[in-house]
């Protein structure tokens, strides 16, 4: 939190606590120090910081030393609140996006019991010592935000249509790069630079950097694919057209830490994919895909290439429209990364819409079920290319999976590809649609006998599936839970 806000909030907390200790009402304190009730109320809420002479009046009225009043030290029961304010946890919590005023939240916390203060201290310690870092916390908050909105933003869809009409843009795929950048150039005075990146070895993993100003300069990594360049230009158009100010100027997930940056990145990404994969055309293509009697991976590859999209852009757009257009409102969307020298598979993006399953949990330390198509495709692409440049080649697969114990079934499409900026990083994106009567009506090939069928689970550590050849860890978490339940049961019997 900004230092100014921190100081105002601390003074407000101390003032309120001292006034209550002296058993003074706002009205009584106002009379004693010759200040208005509303002004003192604003100070207590952390909205105003008084001048020195007014602080002196307050200190005299409360019978305390001036220096003690302005000191940033708080009493024992308020210390956790000070730690909360001083930490980055409040920046991680997108309270304002959910209509919660941070100052009011702090004010409520200031009257907390010792038990609640202890809980706050525990949360702060957990945040500092575990994976509850600012980055992870904000990303989890964004995932929940997407799920609340069912991963569909009606206002952005309308903004894209309005944008295309205003600029007389032909949205028939594929959209040419020069048509989009011309708008950035003429309307928003952008300049493009694809040369300077070579001067900085540190930029190898970055896709682009914007230098803001009267004439913004968009520095792009020259090794990007055309699809990636189009996507970035689409995002820059979104930032400008939607007048989004609070944003990162670096096109890389590495530099997205605050919730506002993540949310605005999501909105601009949504705008870009909706622009590049126009709803009318992609709906028609996916209708044709669903109408097929047999699974056809070539159809999916051709569709991705038709829009000059990345696999993630295509499946993300598919996911955005799944509920709204086809009524498929239960699904999971996952992105996994793997570094070729390791056997680790990291879940780096996740959306779970109206489902109970938690396949691996977000950034969990447990091992995601190796029976899923996401991991299988990464293994295949690793074996085939083994550090050799694949030139953007894709591996596509499908699986009909049934969760062990719950019996929930999914039809999952997955696409794996080598990272264009680092051939030692592999990624897979997966859209798993929940199999119910609605899906069976919409997708003709759902029960194609050539589609592999597997029993799957969330993680190895939570799975009691026997004779699993793909298992990479014993079910230690499950055993721990089972042991605890047995103890509880024994205590009840006793």
Taking a C-beta distance cutoff of 8 angstroms, is the pair 73, 85 a contact? no
Q: Output the pLDDT for position 69.
A: 83
- Tokens 């300077």 sit at which residue? 196
Q: What's the pLDDT at 306?
A: 94
CA 379 remoteness from chain centre: 26
Please give the model's pTM, rounded to 2 decimal places: 0.78
- Report which of residues 362 and 7 the model is more confident about: 7
For residue 385, give every residue at least 6 positions away whose Cβ sits within 8 Å of its Cβ, in sequence order, or none.
393, 418, 423
Q: What is the pLDDT of residues 347-405, one digit of tens each?
A: 888 888 888 766 544 446 788 888 889 999 999 988 888 778 878 889 999 999 998 88
Q: Which pLDDT band, with edges at 50, 70 and 90, does 126 fall under?
A: low
Query: What is the reported pLDDT for 90?
Result: 59
Q: How many CB atoms lie within 10 A of CB 169?
A: 16
What's the chain's Rg over C-alpha atoms?
27
> Which pLDDT tens digit goes with each residue over 397-437?
999 999 888 889 999 999 999 988 888 889 999 999 999 99
Neighbours of 435 (CB within 10 A): 19
Q: Report, as an integer, the average pLDDT of 468-487.
A: 90
Alpha-carbon distance 42 to 50, whole Å? 10
Place of tokens 């990479």: 472
User: Encoding tokens for residue 345?
Assistant: 């598979």
Average pLDDT (266-279) is 96
Domains of the chain: 3-130 (1.10.260.40), 148-276 (no CATH), 326-483 (no CATH)
pLDDT: is 451 or 117 the higher one? 451
Tell me the per-residue pLDDT of 437-462, one tens digit each, with 9 for 90 and over. Answer: 999 999 999 999 999 999 998 888 88
Average pLDDT value over all residues in the chain: 85
Q: Are 426 and 338 in contact (CB under 8 A)?
A: yes
- List pLDDT tens digits, range 220-238: 999 999 999 999 999 999 9
Q: How far apart are CA 63 and CA 321, in angstroms?
A: 64
pLDDT band at 108 (very low <50, low <70, confident <90, very high): low
Instruction: Say if residue 113's pLDDT is above 50.
Output: yes
pLDDT band at residue 131 using 50, 70 and 90 as cut-offs: very low
Query: How many percent of the chain have pLDDT more than 70?
Result: 83
Closest CA to 321 of 449, 150, 169: 150
**Tokens (6 digits) for 421:** 């900026």
| Average pLDDT, integer, range 129-148 | 67
User: Is a pLDDT exceeding 80 seen at residue 84?
Assistant: no
The predicted pLDDT at position 66 comes to: 87
Determine the pLDDT at residue 417: 93
**Residue with tokens 């220096």, as numbered in its chain:** 67
**Using an 8 Å Cβ cutoff, are 66 and 80 in contact?**
no
Residue with more model confidence, 128 or 261: 261
């Amino acid at each position: 939190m900004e230092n100014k806000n921190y100081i105002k909030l601390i003074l407000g907390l101390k003032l309120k606590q001292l006034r209550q200790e002296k058993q003074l009402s706002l009205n009584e304190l106002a009379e004693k120090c010759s200040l208005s009730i509303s002004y003192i109320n604003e100070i207590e809420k952390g909205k105003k910081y008084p001048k020195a002479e007014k602080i002196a009046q307050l200190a005299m009225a409360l019978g305390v030393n001036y220096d003690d009043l302005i000191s940033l030290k708080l009493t024992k029961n308020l210390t956790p609140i000070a730690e909360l304010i001083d930490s980055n946890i409040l920046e991680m919590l997108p309270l304002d996006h959910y209509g919660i005023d941070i100052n009011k939240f702090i004010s409520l916390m200031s009257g907390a019991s010792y038990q609640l203060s202890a809980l706050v201290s525990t949360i702060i310690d957990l945040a500092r010592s575990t994976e509850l870092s600012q980055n992870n916390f904000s990303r989890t908050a964004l995932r929940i935000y997407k799920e609340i909105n069912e991963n569909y933003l009606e206002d952005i869809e309308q903004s894209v249509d309005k944008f295309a009409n205003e600029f007389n843009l032909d949205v028939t795929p594929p959209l040419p790069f020069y048509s989009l950048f011309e708008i950035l150039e003429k309307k928003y005075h952008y300049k493009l630079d694809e040369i300077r990146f070579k001067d900085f070895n540190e930029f190898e993993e970055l896709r682009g950097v914007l230098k803001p100003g009267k004439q913004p300069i968009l520095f792009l990594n020259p090794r990007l694919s055309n699809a990636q360049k189009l996507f970035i230009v689409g995002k820059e158009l979104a930032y400008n057209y939607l007048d989004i100010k609070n944003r990162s100027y670096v096109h890389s997930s590495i530099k997205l830490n605050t919730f506002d940056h993540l949310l605005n990145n999501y909105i601009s990404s949504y705008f870009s994919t909706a622009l590049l994969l126009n709803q009318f055309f992609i709906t028609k293509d996916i209708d044709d895909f669903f109408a097929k009697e047999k699974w056809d991976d070539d159809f999916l590859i051709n569709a991705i290439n038709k829009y000059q999209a990345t696999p993630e852009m295509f499946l993300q757009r598919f996911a955005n429209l799944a509920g709204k257009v086809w009524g498929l409102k239960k699904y999971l969307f996952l992105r996994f990364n793997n570094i070729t020298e390791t056997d680790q598979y990291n879940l780096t993006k996740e959306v779970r819409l109206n489902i109970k399953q938690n396949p691996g949990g977000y950034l969990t330390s447990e091992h995601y079920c190796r029976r899923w198509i996401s991991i299988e495709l990464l293994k295949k692409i690793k074996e085939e290319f083994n550090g050799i440049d694949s030139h953007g080649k894709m591996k596509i697969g499908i699986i009909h999976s049934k969760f062990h114990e719950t019996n929930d079934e999914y039809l999952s499409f997955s696409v794996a590809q080598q990272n264009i900026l680092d051939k030692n990083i592999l990624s897979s994106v997966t859209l798993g649609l929940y199999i119910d009567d609605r899906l069976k009506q919409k997708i003709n090939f759902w029960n194609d006998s050539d589609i592999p069928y597997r029993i799957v689970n969330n993680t190895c550590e939570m799975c009691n599936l026997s004779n699993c050849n793909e298992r990479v860890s014993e079910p230690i978490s499950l055993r721990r839970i089972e042991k605890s339940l047995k103890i509880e049961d024994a205590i009840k019997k006793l």
